[in-house]
């Protein structure tokens, strides 16, 4: 297996030189492309379906995580934090960490597993805030929540820095620690968020905007190619 991985790395490296142009889904991903391939990328953010993900007047008193249950998502940090503060946390998603995370959770933490789209929509709409405890390359769930008018509490690294506005559409915590997380939660609960303003921000990442960005990218690269012939 190590030999196969080595061959795959060599193929990956050589293949990167045959790519004419890279598109990255975030600045974080673009930095990684630069680090490993030494190539520049155009950043085009993925779209959110803001027609489907939309606000609702009904809201309940719980926080929400929508995530695969894998180690790098740092769900365990969120569980440790909510074990301590006693607030209700609902977790949508499945993964290999389920049994471990379930075992360490107190009764205020609920695991909902995988849900259908309508149930997911209602779960977003009724949440107090979406929690993103780990670093994401982009994190489409942040935009799904904001399209529903729901603020985001996120670790201050990765793609969330490009989609969440501190104090307006969410709050960041700087350190991967329970204390940092708790302080950010307390701060979030002191802010009166404007649901419509949060949604308007999310619409900057609409499907229409994505199509415009892709079209502009393709036209620009094609014109450059034609002019260089």
CA distance 159 to 78: 19
Enumerate the domain spans of the chain: 63-205
What dihedral angle (degrees, nearest 10) is formed by the CA atoms of 207, 156, 152, 48?
Answer: 10
Q: What pLDDT is attached to residue 3?
A: 57
Among positive and negative, which fits the CA dihedral 108, 127, 61, 201? positive
63-205 is a CATH 3.40.50.2000 domain: yes
The answer for residues whose C-beta is within 8 angstroms of residue 8's C-beta and 6 or more apart is none
CA distance 37 to 131: 32
Q: Within the chain, which residues score under 50 in pLDDT?
A: none
Please give the angle made by the CA atoms of 44, 46 and 48, to the nearest 5 degrees: 140
Q: What pLDDT is attached to residue 13?
A: 75
φ/ψ (deg, to 5) at 22: -100, 140
Q: What pLDDT is attached to residue 160?
A: 97
Q: Is the pTM of this model over 0.75?
A: yes
Q: What pLDDT is attached to residue 2?
A: 60
Q: What is the pLDDT of residues 115-154, one digit of tens each?
A: 999 999 999 999 999 999 999 999 999 999 999 999 999 9
Q: What pLDDT is attached to residue 226?
A: 84
CA distance 1 to 8: 10
């Amino acid at each position: 297996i190590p030999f196969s991985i080595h061959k795959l790395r060599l193929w990956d490296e050589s293949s990167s030189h045959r790519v004419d142009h890279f598109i990255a889904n975030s600045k974080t991903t673009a930095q990684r492309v630069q680090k490993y391939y030494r190539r520049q990328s155009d950043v085009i953010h993925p779209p959110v379906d803001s027609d489907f993900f939309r606000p609702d007047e009904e809201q309940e008193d719980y926080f929400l995580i929508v995530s695969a249950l894998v180690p790098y998502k740092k769900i365990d940090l969120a569980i440790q934090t909510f074990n301590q503060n006693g607030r209700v946390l609902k977790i949508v998603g499945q993964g290999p960490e389920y049994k471990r995370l379930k075992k360490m959770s107190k009764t205020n933490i609920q695991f909902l597993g995988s849900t259908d789209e309508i149930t997911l929509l209602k779960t977003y709409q009724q949440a107090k805030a979406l929690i993103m405890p780990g670093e994401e390359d982009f994190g489409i769930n942040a935009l799904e929540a904001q399209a529903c008018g729901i603020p985001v509490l996120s670790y201050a690294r990765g793609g969330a820095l490009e989609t969440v506005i501190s104090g307006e559409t969410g709050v960041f915590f700087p350190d991967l620690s329970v204390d940092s997380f708790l302080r950010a939660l307390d701060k979030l609960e002191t802010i009166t968020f404007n649901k419509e303003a949060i949604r308007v921000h999310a619409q900057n990442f609409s499907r229409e905007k994505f199509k415009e960005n892709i079209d502009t990218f393709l036209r620009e690269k094609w014109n450059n190619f034609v002019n260089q012939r």
